Structure 1
Amino acid sequence: MAMKVKEVSELASISVRTLHHYDEIGLLVPDEITPAGYRMYSDANLERLQQILFFKELGFSLKEIKNILDDPAFDAEEALHMHKLILLEKRQRLDQMIATIDKTVLHLRGEIEMTPREQFQGFDFSHNPYEHEARQRWGDHAVNEAHQKLKDPPADKQKELSDQMNDIFRRLSAISHTAPESAEAQAEIKQWYMVLNQLGSYSPEAFKVLGQMYVDDERFTRNIDQFGEGLAQFMCNAMAVFADQNQ
């Protein structure tokens, strides 16, 4: 059954503006345009959109996604299998990072001691057991760009990134009395988004979810609010605004 652009937007949790952009660049062209000018999306369009969002989540650019999907040799079922394998590997790494966060909280409280190696468990993005298959299917250039976003920074960059993050916390704390949607707040939260994407790969939606964790998990709240009371909530709100504006 054909769906209107607004229905697809709500179904896939992406903006109408994004769907219009995909149409304009030929990435997702609706199968039908009504005489009144309404875009109508078929089941095949929805299947392609699902693939687009999977590839986007893995860090591929829109241009690379279009090239992959338009390749006559593209196999949708095979791609879904590969998506699953990569996401399972990513979930395993994230589980390790969450465990490292929990241990670090205990370390900061003085309840346990952590070695330097333990402090960075889960931050090794240098190996993906499915990368070779991905390169064979989608090409070196596409995988290299996606892979670069998941690379752990070299040791000599870690302190620099830590200092950047602390500076952003302080600057955000200083303006936490302003509206989260203000230009000043959004400029600073954009810097936070950019720094986080040096450590991992965050889509705007994932960035928004992370912001919600800052207030839902008291451990995050406690650590962030060390820079200023209410900072975690302010960042959560500002990150949500940023994500909604950059879908």
Structure 2
Amino acid sequence: MYTQYSIGEFAKKTGMTIRTLHYYDEIDLLKPSFISPTGRRFYSDENIIQLQKIVSLKFLGYPLEKIHALIHLKEWDLKESLEFQKQEMLQKKEQLQQVIRALDHALYIMDEQGTMNANIFMMLIHNMHKEEEQKEWMSNYFPKEMVENMFKVPDEKLKELNLEMAELFSQLKAAYGQDPANPNVQALLEQYFDLSLELYPNAIELVENVKDENIEFEQDTQLFPSPLSPEEGIWLGQAMQIYWNNKGINLQVDD
């Protein structure tokens, strides 16, 4: 016996909203089996089976555009499609894990500090988000093993170091305007470089490699953003030059 359901009955039977059914009709994803001369939509048991397919594919993470293409295929390589979708979901899973990790670090810092400068916050989150791209960029200039070792800081230690770095940048921003040679500014730089060596144990080796090999490169400011304003950055650069000179280290590469 052929059964027809009004759109209200079909919505109630399937647990869908009438608005969703209208939308599926508009995008040609699920068409009613019959439309009356007055425009009333009616659905059949076959529509229920079609809807079950749509709901199942949505559960597997397929977007509606892909579902539309799949359910209209005469021949569908289900296994190949599912394998591809599995890889897509694994990538999303990794991305979600990175997002959760970044949120965990940010909330930890805010709990400890009470607040955080927005530019410092964005720098820390950006560095976590772009970690793989940063490693790839650095591998163009430095030995890959050296670069990999720089990013092997355990997550719990990294959380603590990021907190210290956030606090230090806050202090540096507060010190902006002081004489770059001021002992207070230089003490902050001492802390900065000590902390940098904890974050990146091979940092000095990288700097020496740049000097010894006469490597010339431009740092990608989009990939390595600074929480400092351009003016603060110039001031910090002057302070750093004084710091290295006081250490007896010449970082200028000979022509």
TM-score bracket for the superposition, by shorter chain length: 0.3 to 0.5
Normalising by structure 1, what TM-score?
Answer: 0.37
- Structure having the higher Rg: 2
